[in-house]
Chain A
Amino acid sequence: MAKDKEAAKKQVAPKTKFNKTYLKRYWQLYALLFLPLLYLLIFKYLPMRYIILAFKEYKLNTPLRDMPWANVRGKTDVLKYFKQAFGNIDFKRALWNTLKLNALDLIMGFPAPIIFALILNELCFKKFKKVVQTIAYMPHFLSWVIIASLCTQLLAPTDGLINALVTHLGGESIPFLDDPAHWVGTYVGAGVWQSFGWGSIIYLASIAGINTELYEAASVDGAGRFRKMWHITLPGIRPTIVVLLIMNLGYIMGGGFERPWAMRNNLVIEVADVIATYVYKVGIQGLKISLTTAVGLFQSVVGLIFLLAANAISRKLGERGIW
C-alpha cells in the first residue's frame, strides 16, 4: 500500500483545465469508473442511512423518516438502544468474548508466521522449502465450515485421533470441543493453523529484500546462525512487523462472522458468542433491528477509533503508517 502511494506521489499532475479538450480525452476514464463507484455508492454508502435506526424505533413497512425517535414510555431518549445493549448481559458477554478471542488470536497468531518465515529462511534445500511452503499455504484455502468439521473429526472425545493418542499414552481424554476453556484453545489453535503459512508470505518477501552483503559481512565476523537471525533478519523485517502488528491491533474490535459461527456449539456458547454472531441471532433471527443496529454502530465506531489510534502510534514511533 505504501509503495502504491509513493508511486502515486512521484507522478506530478500536469496542469490542465477541466474543459472540452480535457473531457474529450478523459471521458473514457470516468466512464470506466462509473460502475465501480456506483457499486460503492449503493452497497457501501447507501446502507449508512439505516444507521439512524440505532436512534429510532424500527417499524416494519414504514419509511425511515416516519419512524419515531427511540423513546421510553413516550419520552424521547435517542440513546435508549445503546443503554439497552450495555444493560444486556448477552451483549456484554459478546463484547468481552470478541475482545478476548481477538486478543488471543493476536498473541498466538501474530508471532507464528514470523517464526515460520525465520525457520523457512534457514532451509538450504530449495525444493524442500517450496514443498513445505505449498503445504503450509493449504489451510488458508479451506473454508471455516470445513475447518470446523476437521476439528470435530480430529478432536472428538472418544474417536478423535488426538484423544485416541492421549488415552493410548495413558492420559485422560481432553474435551477440546465441549469444555468452554478448552474450546477457546481449539478456536485460537485453528486460527493459527489456518493462517500461519499464508501470513509468512509477506515476511518471506521482506526477508528476501534484505541486503545479502550484511549476512556475508556478519559471517566474516564470525556470527552464527542465531546471531544473524537476531541482528540482521529481524531488524530487516522490523518495519513490516510493526505495520502488520498495528493493522492487527486496529482490528481487535472486528472479527468475521463465519469462523465463530462455524466453530461454535451449544456447550460453549458462553465463550463462543461474539458481536457478529450476537447481531445475527438477535437482529436477523430475532428481529430486534434497532438494538442490533446500535450494537453494529458501536462496533464500527470503536473499530475505526482503534484503527486511527494505531496508525497515529505507528507514525509517532517513526514507522510508516498504514496509509
Chain B
Amino acid sequence: MKVKSTQAKIGDWIFVLICVIISIICVVPMVNLAAKSLSGTEFLIRHEVYLWPKGFNLEAYQTVLSDAKYQRAFIWTAVLTLICTLLSLTMTALCAYPLIFPGLKGRGVINIFITITMFFNAGTIPNYLLMSDLNLLENPLVLIIPSCLSIYNMIIMRSFFYGIPDSLRESAEIDGASFIQILVKIYLPLSKPVFASLALFYAVGRWNGYGDALMYIKTNKQYYPLQLLLYNILNNTNAVEVAAQEGFNQPGLKDSLKCATVMFATVPILLIYPWLQRYFIAGVTMGAVKE
C-alpha cells in the first residue's frame, strides 16, 4: 500500500468527523431522556436538564419498578414476546424447508398462493371482522396467532436453506434419512445464524408493536402490552386513571416518571441488539437483492 498524501489524510478525518456527528444525532434523544429520568423534580420544573442529570436520583425508577401495573405489563410482554418468537420461528421453518425441494409437486402453486398474500391485503376492517368471527377480540391469542408468520422472513430463511449444499442433503437421502430427519439433523444445526437473525426480527416486532392490541383489545386491559400501556400514559388517554396514580400530580416528577417509563420499555432491546449485529446484518442482506 502506498503512503497516503496529506490531502487524503485530511479527507479521512473529515469522514470521521461526519460519522461522529451522525452518531451524536442518533444518541442525543436517548441521552436527553435518560438525563431527565435521573433528575430531581426541581430541576425539571425549571427546565434545566438537557444532557446530564441534575439532582441525580433514582426516585422515578423506584416508582416505576415498584408499580405493580408496570411489573405486570413488563412480564406479560416478555412472555408474549418469547411465545411469539418461538411460534413464529417454528412456523417460518415449517414453511421454508419443504419449498427448497425441487421434487415437491405443487411447489409452483404453493409459491403463488404464498406470494399473493405479500402483495394484496384484505384491509383493516376485513381483518377486524375476521378476528371478531374467530372470537379473538379481547382474547390474548389475538396478539400471538395473527402475526405468527411473516412471508418476508420466510423468504430470508429459504434463501439461507438454499445456501446449504445440496450434496449434504442428497447423501443423507441415499443413507435413507427421511425429510424430517434431514431437517432436524442437517438443516437446523447449520441454520443457527438465520434463526438468531429472525428471532431478533420477530422479538423486536412483538416487543414494539401496539397497533394490534389497540384495535383488538379494548376492555381486557390486563393483556395490554407494555408499548400500549406506555402510549396510553404518554397521551393521557386514561386521564382519570393516570391522575389517580400517585406521583403523576406533580408536574416535574411526572416528567421524570414518563422518561423512566420509556427507558424501562427500551433498555431490554438496547441491551440485546448489539450482540446480534453479525446475525441481523446477514439476515437483512439475505432478504434483499445481492449482486
Give the interface of A toward B (CB within 8 A): 1-4, 7-8, 11-14, 16, 18, 22, 25-26, 28-30, 32-33, 35-37, 39-40, 42-51, 53, 116, 119-120, 122-125, 128-129, 131-139, 141-146, 148-154, 158-159, 161, 164, 193, 197-198, 201-202, 205-206, 209, 225, 236-237, 239-240, 243-244, 256-258, 261-262, 276, 279-280, 283-284, 289, 292-293, 296-297, 299-300, 304, 307, 320, 323
Interface residue B189 (Cβ < 8 Å from any Cβ of A) = no
- For B178, list chain A residues within 8 Å (CB): 25, 28
Asked whether B117 lies within 8 Å of A44 as measured between CB atoms, the reply is yes
Q: Closest residue of chain A to B101, judged by CB?
A: A29
- Compute how far the CA of A262 lies from the CA of B265 in the bound complex, rounded to whole angstroms: 15
For chain B, give the interface size range.
35 or more
**From B105, which residue of chain A is reached at the shortest CB distance?**
A18
CB of B3 within 8 Å of the partner chain: no
Please tell me if the beta carbons of B291 and A240 are within 8 angstroms of each other in the complex: yes
CB-CB nearest 9 A-B residue pairs: A296-B123, A143-B208, A159-B47, A36-B95, A50-B126, A29-B98, A47-B122, A11-B102, A47-B126
Given A29-B104, A193-B26, residue A50 in contact with residue B125 (CB < 8 A): yes
Contact call B117/A45, Cβ cutoff below 8 A: yes
Give, as a whole number of angstroms, the nearest-CB distance from A302 to chain B.
12
Q: Which residues of B contact A123 (CB under 8 A)?
A: 12, 15-16, 19
Q: A138-B270, A161-B50, A279-B124 known; A243 and B149 CB under 8 Å?
A: no
> Which of these, B180, B231, B234, contacts A28 with CB under 8 Å?
B180
Q: Which residue, of A33, A37, A262, has the highest number of chain B Cβ atoms within 10 A?
A: A33
Q: Are B227 and A134 in contact (CB under 8 A)?
A: no
**How many angstroms between the C-alpha atoms of A294 and B197 in the bound complex?**
38
Check B234–A149 contact: CB distance below 8 A.
yes
- From B54-62, B66-74, B158-166, B240-248, give the one contacting chain A: B158-166
Contact B155 A122 (CB under 8 A): no
Q: Are A3 and B94 in contact (CB under 8 A)?
A: no
B159 contacts which of A4, A146, A151 (Cβ < 8 Å)?
A4
- Closest-CB distance, A276 to chain B (whole angstroms): 7
Contacts of B127 in A (CB 8 A): 43, 47
Please pick, from B102, B130, B288, the residue contacting A47 in the complex, using a CB distance under 8 A.
B130
CB <8 Å contact, B274 and A26: no
**Which residues from chain A contact B128 at a C-beta distance below 8 Å?**
283-284
Given A26-B103, A39-B148; A138-B27 close (CB under 8 Å): yes
Q: Which residue of B lies closest to A256 (CB)?
A: B211
B27 CB to closest chain A CB (Å) equals 6
Query: What 4 new A-B contacts, CB under 8 Å, besides A39-B145, A150-B33?
Result: A7-B163, A132-B19, A164-B47, A225-B8
- Which residues in chain B, 115-161, are within 8 Å of chain A measured between CB atoms? 115, 117, 119-130, 134, 145-146, 148-149, 154-155, 158-159
Q: Convert B171-207 into 0s and 1s, putting 1 for each residue whose CB lies closer than 8 angstroms to a CB of A.
A: 0000000111001000000000000000000001001
